[in-house]
Structure 1
């Protein structure tokens, strides 16, 4: 689960994005202006920021410049606007924004941009144009020593058992976000194997609606072709 800060002066936009991102399993914080966003960033760094360009007090590009100048641009930032020009989008990208979404924002474009932003993590251009190094996994990375205890695992369920073994080999030396994705992938593959690919039963077991479950599996890259869906 990632913490995403939504900065937009329109209440409807904040509520809509909060609902969509919460359904995706993220923790969402909101700010209705640049000052609230500044205050939040002083307290902590979110995993991702969705930042509106046109706001009444300080525009998003100016806020982005402030964060970059103060060394606070340590998280991916996606700009949003319904009126921005190409020049504005290019300027924001040069400062350090990872992406630009035009309003009204299409659901798939939003989810794709958020997915890419979170995957990019801290690999952002730092102040002065020096790119932050992306973490790599050494060949001898430390792995989980003990097997992961997954409820209901039976000896005759070889497929689910193999997934449990896969979960037990998740490295401790990779970024938290990558480890979380790896575990979630193993978690859903385990339940798919136990339920013979039944999306209805997997949705019940995991507590997700089928629509959200399909979206989550697609986001994690889980192959549904080898399972018998319902």
Structure 2
């Protein structure tokens, strides 16, 4: 079972999510704002964070950016909101959020999102590889290769996409281009895995169908590729 940090300024939401996830056997820590979330993140290393977007002090997207830029985004984060726009959800995904849940959150969607996020938690790399000790690796591509070598399922799946997909992860590209390359390969992989079914891809990636379709169009993903299988 996992250690899950729930960050939401609404007491009712915190209590509800805590009750549901406790019933599933998880250990839950609660935070009502970004300051408490930072403290909880420092105290331990949660396996998963459920993070509300709209909070009074620091919003969830800003906190996500803070964790990402400081190297503290070592766990999957599921964003939550009842008022976020599509652009906000896309921005959070680009920063590093695993998925997005729209409030009111149904039991089925919550449990599925949590299950998927925990199943896809990247294997943690050695501290030296991340530049936190002697022998730190400077070449980020070498770090990615190490992750593949550790039999990380997500990294192995991306490796199976072939040379064309792997080329999209050229770390010499500007950040936006590199992100777009990764996201395109990510969605192409899931389209192939699900035989081109938009419904199943939406479920697997945690996006609503409308959000997913617009995202695929934005990235220039060939929607027919999934029906032809992986290259």
TM-score in terms of structure 2 length: 0.55
The equivalent residue for 2:30 is: 30
How far is the alpha carbon of 1:121 from its aligned partner? Answer: 1.0
The equivalent residue for 1:133 is: 147
Alignment partner of 1:100 is 2:100:
yes
The answer for unaligned runs of 5 or more in structure 2 is 125-129, 131-139, 153-231
The equivalent residue for 1:109 is: 109
The equivalent residue for 1:194 is: none
Structure-1 separation of matches of 2:39 and 2:69: 16
The equivalent residue for 1:62 is: 62
Partner SS state of residue 133, structure 1: helix
Which structure features the higher share of helix residues?
2
1:149-200 CA distance string (max 9 Å, x none): xxxxxxxxxxxxxxxxxxxxxxxxxxxxxxxxxxxxxxxxxxxxxxxxxxxx
The equivalent residue for 1:185 is: none
The equivalent residue for 1:160 is: none
1:190-213 CA distance string (max 9 Å, x none): xxxxxxxxxxxxxxxxxxxxxxxx
Structure-2 separation of matches of 1:76 and 1:30: 16
Structure-2 separation of matches of 1:69 and 1:78: 18
Structure-2 separation of matches of 1:9 and 1:69: 24
> How many residues get paired?
135
Partner SS state of residue 80, structure 1: strand
The equivalent residue for 2:190 is: none
Alignment partner of 1:18 is 2:18:
yes
Specify the structure having the higher radius of gyration (Cα).
Answer: 1
The answer for unaligned runs of 5 or more in structure 1 is 138-230
1:106-142 CA distance string (max 9 Å, x none): 1110000000000011269x9x8986836428xxxxx
How far is the alpha carbon of 1:62 from its aligned partner? Answer: 0.1
Structure-2 separation of matches of 1:133 and 1:36: 31
Structure-2 separation of matches of 1:15 and 1:117: 21
Partner SS state of residue 112, structure 1: helix
Structure-2 separation of matches of 1:59 and 1:133: 31
The equivalent residue for 2:39 is: 39
The equivalent residue for 2:87 is: 87
